[in-house]
Amino acid sequence: MKMLWKRVPSVIAVVAAMAMVAVACGGTETVTVTEEVVVTSIVTEVVTEEVVVTETETVTEEVVVTSIVTEEVVVTEEVVVTETVEVMVDDSEARTLRIAIADDVEQLDPALGSAQLTNLVLKNVYMQPVQYRPGPDVGGFSYADTTSFEGQWIESWDFSDDFRTITLRLRQGLTFPTSGNPVTADDAIYTINRALATGPAGPAWVWGNIGVTSIDQIERVDDRTLIVHNARPSTIVLPLMRDQTMGIMDSVTIQANSTEDDPWGRDWLKQNYAGNGRYVVDTWERGSRMVLKRNPTWTGFQPYFETVELLTVPEAANRLALLQSGDVDIALDLSVQQLATAAGSDGVKVLSVPDRNGINVLLNNQAPPFDNVTLRKAMSYAVDYNAIVNGVLNGQAVPSQGPISVNSRFFDLYNLEDAWIYEHDPDRARQLMAEAGYPDGFEFEMVIRQDIPLDEAVATNLKAQFADLGIDMSIRPVTGAEMFDHLFGLTYGGMAFRGGLLDYVDDPYYQFFLWWDSQDAAINWTGFADARIDEILDETASVVSDPGRREPYREAVTRLVDAAPMLWLANANYTLAMRDDIGGFTLHPDGLLWFATLNRSG
């Protein structure tokens, strides 16, 4: 008993705490007032009080209490006020878009971005020469029209008849909002010059593909006109000009912050902002959040959202929870299971639309065992594509049919389905393994990124599928940086898997030049080389008409599929979980969320 009495204060404290929590969580819609009043007239009382509705939302609530009583009567009256509470939501709140992101933005120099998230921000806060126009609405969203462009910092463009000269007219009246400097042809020339100085990666690669390798090719006609000389005729000139690396920069500001050691102001621009995108960087608290404001100097179509807040929430489960509670409008990078959970939550919708995202496994073509083409083909037959598409990816994908996505407009245009030969056929896989000299199986290692659910799921499923054929695949998770070292250095043992791989431009030339040109490919992560494919690329590089490219590319795709340098497993949907009042989504080929068209119409 004595012990019990000793615990009474603790019990009271706990009960009090629970009561406080209950009070804090309780509703505020119904107010019960018990009071003793002496009233001599009609009393009308207007109470204005501030009620905190959510952590971040403050509204003004007007409560009107009217009570009529007989003269000189003392009443004890219980007035139950259940009036409609008029909630006047602050418009700026509605005009704020909150997005939960997985990681911090790496840096702010458009010429250096690499992570998808950083590219996403750079695309929105810098202004590219052109952007795609949104296509027609197809059930609550639209695809960007990849054949139609609207000028951004250039107003118009003219190609000469031989496509080798491009005249660019700059948009008038643009300024850089943070400095107030006008956007001039000098800024454009500085931006191109700076891009060319970045080396083979980044925008120098992009300008190189347009045919610009020297700043001497850019002629400044007047303050609004530039002429690009000796451009390379190509189907992807305009698609490349919408690249997030092509954002125009405030040359005056950057030069003022450049030093002798750092003539292009790289160090400064990593941390600071000198652009004029549809949104401008307002504040950036490293590691926690970045706030973007609508560009006040843009005179064209105004985006709906005045403010975009990017909140860094590293744990995917927390991003999902924030979305479910309505604290954020969009949660990026959710796993397949979390998307399924989100889809079943109140007030949340999940967009899942066919896209060109490649779920591909890379094979090291330069080292045993996969330097053996027969064995590579055996692996392509060993994969259970259905388990990957409908199991691992929960049906949010379609089976892949080679290097050009089945959701690319060129897949149908060039009839590429004929080139695909693989299906899940363990017997054929065994037969090819025997032919390749591995009748009893073999061992190899697959490198994946650690803590990425998709990578782990794909690797674990493939391990089990290959085990049926006597193949012992071990899985080695590495950091993202180690993964890049392995891929660029071709030091991974047998296979590597690195999530979804997306070509930012939907064009077969882009895919082949990026991946399969044995000399110049920017990301030849398989070490594959084929002289005939190189020839086809050279022959078609400057062909700008589809009829002229159709047959060469059919041949190239057929050769590539037959050589099986990677395992093309699936084309995953683009997925995005958001509150159900968010509308206006347009899917761009680069998969980078474009804020300007989003709205809160639902």
Partner 1 sequence: MTVLSPQRERGRMARVFVGPTVGMTIRRALFFFMLFLAVVAPWLDDFSAWLPFPIYDPLRPDPFNPVSPPTAEHWFGTDTLGLDVFTRVLMATRVDFTLALIGVALGGGLGCLAGAWAAYRRGWVDMVALRIVEVLQSFPVLLLGLAMFAAFGSLEIFGPVDHGMAVLVLSISMVNFPLYLRQVRSVLLPLTEAEFVQAAKCAGLGAWGIVWHHFIPNARGQILALFPLTCAYAIQIIAGLSFIGLGIEPPNPEWGSMIKAGATLIVQGHWWVSVFPGAFIVLSVYSLTGFSARSETLVGPGGTSA
**Contact set with partner 1 (CB under 8 A):** 315-318, 320-321, 335, 337-338, 341, 387-388, 390-392, 450-451, 453, 456-457, 459-461, 463-464, 467, 474-477
**CA dist., res. 344 & res. 437, Å (int):** 50
Q: Are strands 166-170 and 225-228 parallel, antiparallel or unpaired?
A: antiparallel
**CA dist., res. 165 & res. 281, Å (int):** 35
**CA dist., res. 17 & res. 15, Å (int):** 5
Which CB sits closer to partner 1, 251 or 338? 338
290 and 105 in contact (C-beta within 8 Å)?
A: yes
Q: At closest approach, how far in Å is the CB of 341 from partner 1? A: 5
Which CB sits closer to partner 1, 244 or 324? 324
Report the run of H or E that residue 221 belongs to, with start and end.
strand 218-222
Q: Which 3 state secondary structure label does DSSP give 11?
A: helix
Q: At closest approach, how far in Å is the CB of 348 from partner 1? A: 13
Report the run of H or E that residue 280 belongs to, with start and end.
strand 279-285
Which CB sits closer to partner 1, 114 or 474? 474
Residue entry with tokens 């590089």:
541
**CA dist., res. 227 & res. 308, Å (int):** 36
Cα-based distances in Å from 504 to 56, 236, 383, 588: 37, 11, 27, 9
The DSSP output letter for 417 is: G
Which CB sits closer to partner 1, 80 or 467? 467
Which CB sits closer to partner 1, 334 or 505? 334
Which CB sits closer to partner 1, 299 or 479? 479
Q: At closest approach, how far in Å is the CB of 321 from partner 1? A: 6
227 and 165 in contact (C-beta within 8 Å)?
A: yes
Bond preceding residue 369 cis, omega within 30 of 0: yes
Which CB sits closer to partner 1, 142 or 352? 352
Q: At closest approach, how far in Å is the CB of 461 from partner 1? A: 5
Q: At closest approach, how far in Å is the CB of 367 from partner 1? A: 16
**CA dist., res. 204 & res. 200, Å (int):** 6
**CA dist., res. 577 & res. 349, Å (int):** 6
**CA dist., res. 197 & res. 194, Å (int):** 5
**CA dist., res. 204 & res. 385, Å (int):** 38
Which CB sits closer to partner 1, 66 or 450? 450
**CA dist., res. 469 & res. 474, Å (int):** 14
512 and 557 in contact (C-beta within 8 Å)?
A: no
Q: At closest approach, how far in Å is the CB of 392 from partner 1? A: 5
CA gyration radius, the chain: 30
* Other beta carbons less than 10 A from residue 46's beta carbon: 9
Phi, psi (5° rounding) for residue 336? -55, -45
Which CB sits closer to partner 1, 457 or 598? 457
Q: At closest approach, how far in Å is the CB of 453 from partner 1? A: 6
Which CB sits closer to partner 1, 449 or 550? 449
304 token code pair? 């709906």
Phi, psi (5° rounding) for residue 260? -65, -40
Q: At closest approach, how far in Å is the CB of 463 from partner 1? A: 7
* 507 HSE (CA, 13 A, CB side): 23
Q: At closest approach, how far in Å is the CB of 366 from partner 1? A: 20
**CA dist., res. 175 & res. 170, Å (int):** 12
Q: At closest approach, how far in Å is the CB of 569 from partner 1? A: 12
Q: At closest approach, how far in Å is the CB of 456 from partner 1? A: 6
Q: At closest approach, how far in Å is the CB of 320 from partner 1? A: 7
Which CB sits closer to partner 1, 452 or 566? 452
Cα-based distances in Å from 88 to 82, 98, 594, 600: 18, 20, 29, 16
Q: At closest approach, how far in Å is the CB of 28 from partner 1? A: 27
Which CB sits closer to partner 1, 335 or 372? 335
The DSSP output letter for 112 is: T
Which CB sits closer to partner 1, 203 or 500? 500
